[in-house]
Structure 1
Amino acid sequence: MKVAFFLNLIFTIIEIAGGLYTNSLAILSDALHDLGDSLSLGLAWYFQKLSKRGRSGKFTYGYKRFSLLGAIINSIVLVVGSVFILSKAIPGLFSPEETNVQGMLFLAILGIIVNGAAVMKLRNGHSLNEKVVSLHLWEDVLGWVAVLIGSIVMMFFDAPFIDPLLSVLISVYVLYNVYKNIRKSMLIILQGIPEEVDMEQIKLKLSRLNFVTDIHDCHIWS
């Protein structure tokens, strides 16, 4: 996970510089997405080590819930960044600016290679953390494929609106995923019943046990 983190972080810096150089909002949107993944990787790497400490006198349940704090911090960063990108991209749909298409093409190819290498590095991961991060990196690869296709189209057709359009689509996709992650995190923090758990079914199965006469209280959380 450490190698994947540094790969993603270094490339995110290159993306931001490249997005500014090429005047491409699509590149900057993908840079924001990769920044979120870099934060996720860094926090996952840190909390994976932290969770192995076990419980302490202060944290008697252990440190596993610290990963939720990381998810919330990451989500806030992504929301702020996505709203900023959308505030630039939506007006750009109606008055698009010229972009450096060759630069976009080069960065898209580089993005596919770097994120693909990070995916390969995590493909044999066994922990849920590693599997989730690997899925996010696959999404990054697909995002760069979209930028690659967009830049190729712009090379042959006068369609500068494609860049802000890609930016809007990527930002909306990021916000959708942030919403899902925040919803899951808040459900855990507020000690809600996990979505996949059916409380009534559990009560029914418990009540059928020979030694159970009554269920007066039942609590389930994760």
Structure 2
Amino acid sequence: MGHNHDHSHHHAEGNVKVAFFLNLSFTIIEIIGGLYTNSLAILSDALHDLGDSLSLGLSWYFQNLSKKGRTKTFSYGYKRFSLLGAIINSIVLVAGSIFILTKAIPQLFNPEETDAEGMLYLAILGIVVNGAAVFKLRKGESINEKVVSLHLLEDVLGWVAVLVGSIIMMFVDAPFIDPLLSVLISLFVLYNVYKNLKKSLLVILQGIPDEIDLNEIRKKLRDFKEITNAHDCHVWSMDGNYNILTIHITLDKDYKLSEQAELKAKVREILKDDSINHITIEFDGQDENCTLEDC
């Protein structure tokens, strides 16, 4: 299992690295193209992509850092650092989107002429480049990869909108379409960032992961005749993938250490199907007065 975990980390790092270089190269082309076509939609997307490039660079760095084992400072290792990348990504996107909206909204009422044909060619290129990056990242497991993949998927959808808008502007005199696209892309980005930020904050604030059902854990523990009570139960996630459980279990009588070890192994085995990767169990005797709350 350790080998698979290392492999998936290496795979994730490689994916983010490829997406970073794709995005950075294309951002440069996009800024030049946006200035050439005088398109606010393309320039705002260039700013968005520049933010994404910074985010991807951070993600690559944090994904790499998160592979380090435990140290004197970080006893759980550096897994949570990949989550820090996801949060910085989200902040960059929020700041970029708000900046875009402050430029695009005034232009809705005073639109400028744009080069619709140039926009069309750039949109096709944008769909191909960002589509390739999404394809590279879409099977990612970490929140970091999912956030990055979402950024790039938004870019693809943004370019599809620019493509449609440029085709309309080639046949109809409607320059307001360009800033309108810019506003819609920004609002869509903000909505999705909110959803991802909510998930990342749940992990940082040590909320119970969505995929873990405490009632199911209690039910499984009740199946053991040796267990009379479970309390002081805590479940949290390190990075959105690696989940941890600590629990106090009261036994019906005193057992030898070898029997306790056997029971612990059985409990771990039955709970590993519940998306829990790390389990710490403490056994309490019948006469032990534990004041901690029941699960």
Structure 1 length-normalised TM: 0.87
Flag the 1:50–1:98 CA change in 2: closer, same or farther, 3 A. same
Q: AA paired with 1:88?
A: K
Q: Does 1:83 align with 2:93?
A: no
State yes or no: 1:61 paired with 2:76.
Answer: yes
Corresponding residue number in structure 2 for 1:99: 114
Cα distance in structure 1, aligned partners of 2:163 and 2:59: 29
1:22-48 Cα offsets, whole Å, 9 max, x none, are 222211232233234323432332223
The answer to which structure has the higher helix fraction is: 1
Secondary structure at the residue paired with 1:213? Answer: strand
2:127 is matched with 112
Deviation at 1:165, TM superposition (A): 1.2
| Segment drifting more, 15-24 vs 52-61 | 15-24
In structure 2, relative to structure 1, the CA distance for the partners of 1:78 and 1:138 (3 Å cut) is: closer
Structure 2: segments with no counterpart, 5+ residues: 1-14, 238-295
Q: Kindly tell me the number of residue pairs found equivalent between the two proteins.
A: 221
Q: Give how far 1:111 is off.
A: 0.9
Same amino acid, percent of matched pairs:
76
Q: How does 1:1-222 map to 2 (within 5 A)?
A: 1=15, 2-120=17-135, 122=136, 127-128=141-142, 130=145, 133-134=148-149, 136-222=151-237
Tell me the distance in 2 between the aligned counterparts of 1:5 and 1:87.
Answer: 27
CA change 1:179–1:127 in 2 (3 A) is closer
Between the aligned partners of 2:105 and 2:23, the Cα distance in structure 1 is 27
Distance 1:142 1:214 in 2: 52
Q: Which of 1 and 2 has greater Rg?
A: 2
Summarize the Cα distance change of 1:125–1:179 in structure 2 as closer, same or farther, 3 Å threshold: closer
Cα distance per residue 1:95-120 (max 9 Å; x no partner): 22211212211211221222233345
Listed as ranges, the gaps of 5+ residues in structure 1 are none
Range moving further from structure 2, 212-221 or 17-26: 17-26
The alignment yields a C-alpha RMSD, in angstroms, of 2.3
Q: Deviations over 1:57-112 (max 9, x none)?
A: 22111111111211121111111111111111122222222112122112112212
What TM-score, normalized to structure 2? 0.68
Partners of 1:126 and 1:144 lie apart in 2 by 23
**Is the 8 Å Cα contact of residues 137 and 149 (structure 2) preserved in structure 1?**
yes
Which stretch has the larger CA shift, 31-40 or 61-70? Answer: 31-40
Structure with the bigger RCO (C-alpha within 8 Å, sep 6+) is 1
- 1:194-214 residue CA offsets vs partner (Å, 9 max, x unmatched): 123333333333334322211
